[in-house]
Structure 1
Amino acid sequence: MRYRRPDRTQTTKRGFTTKREADSYLATVEVSKMRGEWLDPSRSKVSVADVGAEWIAGQVQIKPSTLSGYRYTLDRHILPSWGNRRLVEIGHGEVQVWITTLANGLAPSTVRQIYFVLAALMKYSVKDGRINRDPTEGIQMPRKRATDRGYLSHRQVAALARECDGNADLIAFLAYTGLRWGEMAALKVLSIDFPRRRVDVKEALTDVRGTLVRGTPKTYERRSVPFPAFLEPPLRARAAGKQPQEPLFVSSRGLEMRNGNFRKRVFLPALKRLQDRDAGFPTVTVHDLRHTAASLAISAGANVKAVQRMLGHASAAMTLDVYADLFDDDLDHVADRLDQAASEDVAKMWSEAAGESQDPLTK
């Protein structure tokens, strides 16, 4: 049977056993054309693997590290399950079952990343006219689990810094500025504004399959971060004898710093030595030094907007979401601070009201 596509070109559909079947199919085609829902059957039969390759090739505006993550997720999780399936065959229910199965063995954050990539493929396919509906829409995702972040005290930061001999200043720098590892590793000598005691965060180094790639952070991550005065001498020592464009922090071999190498060779051995001497010393990661910076800033009285700007969060709401527990703890001290601030005036008020029968607070 021949019929016309919306662009007026002709195509053929075979396989009908009766004229009634053919007429019924033609009627559905005409209705879908009128509704703007008609799809070329040959395009909707394409496999997820083929669409995945197209979608990846079109991601030209994202960072290399992000693209590498998408490729890994596609190759490791999506293509083994869906690669040979045709787009038109995939239903909402089986996607939900798949996500639920993944959640039984993977962390919620990992499942969400996998879902994000599959959903992006399906949305691309809808926009490209390959399918009418997105089978990933409305999928129930696993709940995020509450995690215990590693917050170090001032004393614990000092102990860890001393144990990381030769990198004490690096530990202190991360714990008191809150920079991400990649942001720290990308700093140049000219990034430090010593008169203002500020760090200009404009770049980040990312390890993409063994290669360090220098890129620019998102707009809200570009920022000027203050550092305490006690960090100035070690930072000046790091900068001494270097040109403005040279890296500020380098490895013992003078190379750009890699998180994996530092963690394995310096950080974890130092942490183990501390915990061997003190079983109560927290188990932390290098990234937990960023959380520590937030904790120490909040305990020092920093408000949510200041912490947001220091950490380079997109919004204050994000900062509150991540560190709600710390701000809740801070609320416990509000009454004490109010009492302390008002104690002198309140005492005077009560003194003046002495001997009067009426409660001065109800006047």
Structure 2
Amino acid sequence: MASIETYSTKAGKRYRVRYRKPDHSQGAKRGFRTKREAELYLASIEISKARGEFVEHGAARATIAELGQAWLSTQTHLKPSTYRTVADAWRLRVEPRWGRYPVSAIQHSDVQAWVSELSASRSPTVVIRSFGVLAAILDVAVRDRRILSNPARGITLPRKERKTHSYLTHEQVHRLATEAGPRAALVLTLAYTGLRWGEVAALRVRSVDFERRRINVTENAVEVGGVIHVGSPKTYKTRSVPTPRFLHPYLNDQISGREGDELLFPGPNGDYMRRTRTSTGSKSWFKTALRNASLEPMTIHDLRHTAASLAVSSGANVKAVQRMLGHASAAMTLDVYSDLFDDDLDAVSDRLDQAVAAASVSKPRP
């Protein structure tokens, strides 16, 4: 039961309020100068409990630094590469700015000012990721009844501009493969299957099914901070990717004389391949091959975009492209590669013309 009691101090009589929290534990607050103040406080406690809005004052004093470390320790479900970017955002941008703040002291306007300040010097991707970390921590604070609402929600964020994809033609892909020399099979596999680098790096000899003309993707080997982490594919789902027949001799050469559990594309020491670097001044077999093939600078990942482009140009529908690339949904494929389906709009108008002509309907003129 709630109660109000008096106690003595050097400054005179004071009032203490005792009450039951929603979890039935005992709560108390002291220091009220008048009984009226104590009664009003007790009434506010009872009303907040009835509305489901009760927030314990002690819990609201927890700092973002305390809550952030606890939140980060729960993100074990993230892929290593994703976890690294989230941890960096916390360490470099969120904790230095907000770590000392009690969770109840953060205001919406302060978060908006921080986002605007970051946007002046950082890319939209970095800003959105950093904001997401702070917002996620505050979401947990709301669920833990430390604050009533998340002051980071409703913030205006910078808009990410979609990068223009680089697509190679069939002729350019084969020219690049020729210049790649012993890595020709790797280039062709990436350009005609759309595998991610981590997926192709984790392929085993047994992953290739010549009879079904498939490559079975079951693992991912991603490099994070110089360490290779092996796990499930990006979307946590295994898949079978089609392989054109012309690619089979190249894959046969890779497999020749090797056991099923050996890597299909091993690195120099027989271990997992490391991602090649294409930055200015770096020594890279891929960069050298691009230059020798008289092609514009691009990244290894652009071969995945090329695979999508070549598949669409061959007549593949969006669902088939989605399954090949391992996207979570066809909507995601359309969003990423909407430019590849522009010709479908022309096809719609052509088919409407054909349908009207076949129906022999009269055409009203203005």
Q: Quick one: which of 169, 180, 183 aligns to 1:164?
A: 180
Is 1:102 the counterpart of 2:118? The answer is yes
* Structure 2 gap segments, 5+ residues each: 1-15
**CA deviation digits over 1:263-296, x for unaligned, max 9?**
852112332444xxx4xx3331111110000011
**CA deviation digits over 1:299-336, x for unaligned, max 9?**
11111111111111111111111111110135446667
Q: Residue 167 of structure 1 aligns to a residue in which SS? A: helix
> How many equivalent residue pairs?
342
Q: Residue 34 of structure 1 aligns to a residue in which SS? A: helix
Q: Quick one: which of 304, 309, 314 aligns to 2:328?
A: 314
Quote the RMSD (CA, aligned, Å).
2.6
**Percent of counterpart pairs with the same letter?**
48
Report 1:84-233 matches (<5 A): 84-217=100-233, 221-233=237-249
Amino acid in the other structure paired with 1:296: L
**Residues 2, 10 of structure 1: 8 Å contact kept:** no
* Structure 1 gap segments, 5+ residues each: 350-358
**CA deviation digits over 1:326-347, x for unaligned, max 9?**
10135446667999xx8xxx9x
Deviation at 1:62, TM superposition (A): 3.3
Deviation at 1:59, TM superposition (A): 2.6
Matching residue of 1:30: 46
Matching residue of 1:297: 311
Q: Quick one: which of 286, 290, 293 aligns to 1:271?
A: 290
Question: 1-side partners of 2:313 and 2:197: how far apart?
Answer: 23
Amino acid in the other structure paired with 1:41: H
Q: Residue 18 of structure 2 aligns to a residue in which SS? A: strand
Question: 1-side partners of 2:42 and 2:360: how far apart?
Answer: 87
Report 1:242-281 matches (<5 A): 242-260=258-276, 264-274=283-293, 278=294, 281=295
Q: Quick one: which of 253, 258, 263 aligns to 1:237?
A: 253
Q: Structure 1 or 2: larger helix share?
A: 1
Deviation at 1:5, TM superposition (A): 3.3
Q: Structure 1 or 2: larger strand share?
A: 2
Q: Relative to structure 2, which stretch is displaced further, 284-293 or 103-112?
A: 103-112
Question: 2-side partners of 1:116 and 1:227: how far apart?
Answer: 39
**Residues 250, 257 of structure 1: 8 Å contact kept:** yes
Deviation at 1:210, TM superposition (A): 1.7
Q: Relative to structure 2, which stretch is displaced further, 65-74 or 232-241?
A: 65-74
Q: Residue 161 of structure 1 aligns to a residue in which SS? A: helix
Q: Relative to structure 2, which stretch is displaced further, 193-202 or 265-274?
A: 265-274
Question: 2-side partners of 1:300 and 1:78: how far apart?
Answer: 47
With over 3 angstroms needed to count, the CA separation of the structure-2 counterparts of 1:236 and 1:338, relative to structure 1, is farther
Question: 2-side partners of 1:24 and 1:202: how far apart?
Answer: 63
Question: 1-side partners of 2:138 and 2:184: how far apart?
Answer: 48
**Residues 152, 292 of structure 1: 8 Å contact kept:** yes
Q: Identify which of structures 1 and 2 has the higher relative contact order when contacts are C-alpha pairs closer than 8 Å and 6+ apart.
A: 1
TM-score, L = length of structure 1: 0.86
Amino acid in the other structure paired with 1:324: S
Q: Which runs of 4+ in 1 moved over 6 A?
A: 334-339
Matching residue of 1:71: 87
Amino acid in the other structure paired with 2:299: T
Q: Residue 93 of structure 1 aligns to a residue in which SS? A: helix
**CA deviation digits over 1:140-172, x for unaligned, max 9?**
222221321111111111222222222111111
With over 3 angstroms needed to count, the CA separation of the structure-2 counterparts of 1:156 and 1:203, relative to structure 1, is same
With over 3 angstroms needed to count, the CA separation of the structure-2 counterparts of 1:16 and 1:185, relative to structure 1, is same
Deviation at 1:18, TM superposition (A): 5.0
TM-score, L = length of structure 2: 0.85
Amino acid in the other structure paired with 2:113: V
